[in-house]
Structure 1
Amino acid sequence: MTFAGVYVPLITPFDASGAVAFDALERLAHDVLDGGAAGLVALGTTGEPGSLDDKERDGVLDVIAGVCRARRAQLIVGANRIGDAAGVPSHAVAVLTLVPPFLLPGEDGVVAYFEDFAARSPVPVLAYHVPYRTGQALSAAALRRIAAIDGVAGMKLAAGGIDTTVVDLLSDPPADLAILCGDDAFLAPLLSMGVPGAIIASAHLDTAAFTALVHDREPQPRLARLALALFAEPNPTVIKAVLHARGRIPTPDVRLPLLPASAASLHLALSV
């Protein structure tokens, strides 16, 4: 499976009663695919899966999987437990799973975790390395060990910038491993270093411009400013506020522990 282009980790919209707005979710899925996205991520961290109950998670997955099947778009499913991965639709191209957070198991523990996860997953695995959230730093050597695991097809790389580990990894990337940008504001420089695409929440907005950036590799500085504005507060609060302001979802609501975006952040994002 080839992973390239823009993949949008969809938010979970809520209606005025607090329930999941499945109709709005379906429209949003079609909208970003109309904008040129290569695929969708269901139940990624942007979708607030930890705040959803089992029935809601199943409903969200059913909607997004149905759109991907109808549109022949690639479906990636967020799954941070092997039990989650076992239930992914048969047409999913991968599961996206975090480097184990909080526990700080060390590089050997992380590699062992991905060996076990990949061995039991029914579909290929994308490893999600985001050390400023998980707390677990990894060297380029450890990332290459993960890349060498049978069943690991790619990596969402969100190191919080371009450090020596990122430079080391991308200067000699593992063969047959898709390294996708997961840092929205650093998309352009990572594209210049050879990544084939991205999993970025900012592409809910101006999807066509983000896909053009990935395909044409021509600088679009406004998109970096937009990404910074959309991440001025915890994701996906500002994205939801903008989508609601533009009439694309029924409310800007998020669930605890998140709080709605401030008026100032909304104004800034709308002005970019």
Structure 2
Amino acid sequence: METAKLRGIHVPLITPFTADGRLDRAALEKLAHGVLDEGAAGLVALGTTGEPGALDAAEQAAVVGICARVCAERGAALLVGVGGGATRQVAAALQDVTPGATAALTLVPPFVRPGAAGVLAHFRELTAASPVPLVAYHIPYRTGQALDAETLRELASVPGMAGVKLATGAVDPEVVALLAGELPPHFAVLGGDDVVLPPLLALGAAGGILASAHIATARWVELVDAWQAGDVARARELGHRLSRLAAALFAEPNPTVIKGVLHARGRIPSPAVRLPLLPANAASVSRALDLAVSTG
């Protein structure tokens, strides 16, 4: 299985709904092209930001199909979210990942807290079964399972692992140790906590999977480029502004504020989300809009 290194900004697309709650396929396709036009390296279909648990099977298939077609047309990377906590369940779901996907994004097993050895065994089983490389989604404040740097480096050595989406909520010592250590050349460390992506890039992360990159996509791409070019002054200044924007976009449950901003800018037909989410309040959307304007 060929594993090409993932780099740059990957946008986990929201799922646009019409005012009466139906999937808006045309808006999704337009949004996908829009973020790629601004320099995003790829798309994530059925990430958390896309409300996959609120979509039925036909809607999920439509979302993946649209994203796959756009990525194929544009030569962009496509990651597909594959959920579930039981190893056999996830292994079976991976068999249905759309042909041509760059990788599947799948959680460190949530809720069961299997320990480091169990996490490694889980991913070894999945990579053996998967037709595409995997990116582990490490988000311990949702899964309940923390992993140390040694475990993450061992995960990187598992054949078929393309990277990890790090969303630990902070730049903690384990993250610093991971980025400071030797990793296989194909294994990408991608930031997944939008507010702390700038320091992760400074430490050597290859890019990010960022819901905030729906907004000011080109500036997020510029941030990655600045760090990789060694333009520290520009990267710091831009990183500070983008972190403030990200904080505003996550002031309410994701993706409610992002949808509010996209709707206010005329990029999606409605800010609608599906229960248990509720639309963001006007003050949160207004604050994020102001910061988006000042960020450029």
TM-score interval (norm. to shorter): over 0.9
Aligned sequence identity (%): 57
Aligned with 1:66 (options 63, 69, 75): 69
Separation in 2 of the partners of 1:174 and 1:161?
A: 21
Structure 1: segments with no counterpart, 5+ residues:
none
Q: CA deviation at 1:145?
A: 1.8
Following superposition, the deviation at residue 173 of structure 1 comes to 4.0
| SS state at 2:261 partner | helix
2:271 alignment partner in structure 1: 252
Q: Measure, in 1, the Cα distance between the counterparts of 2:109 and 2:50.
A: 19
Shift of 1:89: 2.1
Select which of 42, 47, 58 maps to 2:45: 42
Equivalent residue in structure 1 for 2:205, among 195, 200, 204: 195
Aligned-pair Cα RMSD in Å: 1.0
Cα distance in 2, alignment partners of residues 82 and 202 from structure 1? 30
The TM-score with structure 2 as length reference comes to 0.90
Distance apart, 1:17 and its partner CA:
1.8
Which is worse superposed, 245-254 or 25-34? 245-254
Structure 1 distance, partners of 2:17, 2:48, is: 16
Following superposition, the deviation at residue 84 of structure 1 comes to 2.8
Q: Secondary structure at the match of 1:90?
A: coil
2:86 maps to what in 1?
none
Q: One-letter code of the match for 2:221? A: T
What is aligned with 1:186?
196
**Counterpart of 2:18?**
15
- Residue number in structure 2 paired with 1:228: 247
Task: Give the letter for the 1:172 counterpart.
Answer: G
Residue of structure 1 in register with 2:133 after alignment: 124
User: Partners in 1 of 2:54 and 2:241 — Cα distance?
Assistant: 32
- Counterpart Cα distance in 2 of 1:2 and 1:140: 20
May I ask how many residue pairs the two structures share in their alignment? Answer: 272
The alignment status of 1:204 with 2:214, answered yes or no, reads yes
User: Which secondary structure does the structure 1 equivalent of 2:127 belong to?
Assistant: helix
Aligned 1:11-160 pairs, distance under 5 A: 11-80=14-83, 81-160=90-169
Is the deviation greater in 224-233 or in 175-184?
175-184
Per-residue CA shift, 1:173-195, capped at 9, x if unaligned?
A: 42221111111111111111011
Is the partner of 2:218 in helix, strand or coil?
Answer: helix
> How far did residue 210 of structure 1 move?
0.5
The TM-score with structure 1 as length reference comes to 0.98
Q: Which amino acid aligns with 2:204?
A: G
SS in 2 for 1:160: coil
- Asked whether 1:6 is paired with 2:18, we answer no
Q: Which moved more, 1:118-127 or 1:100-109?
A: 100-109
Superposed displacement of residue 83, structure 1: 3.0
C-alpha offsets along residues 77-136 of structure 1, whole Å, 9 cap, x if unaligned? Answer: 111222332122221110000101111111111111111111111000001101111111
Pairwise CA distance, 1:266: 0.8
The 3-state SS of whatever aligns with 1:127 is strand
What amino acid is the match of 1:74? Answer: A
Where does structure 2 lack aligned partners over 5 or more consecutive residues? 84-89, 228-234, 292-296
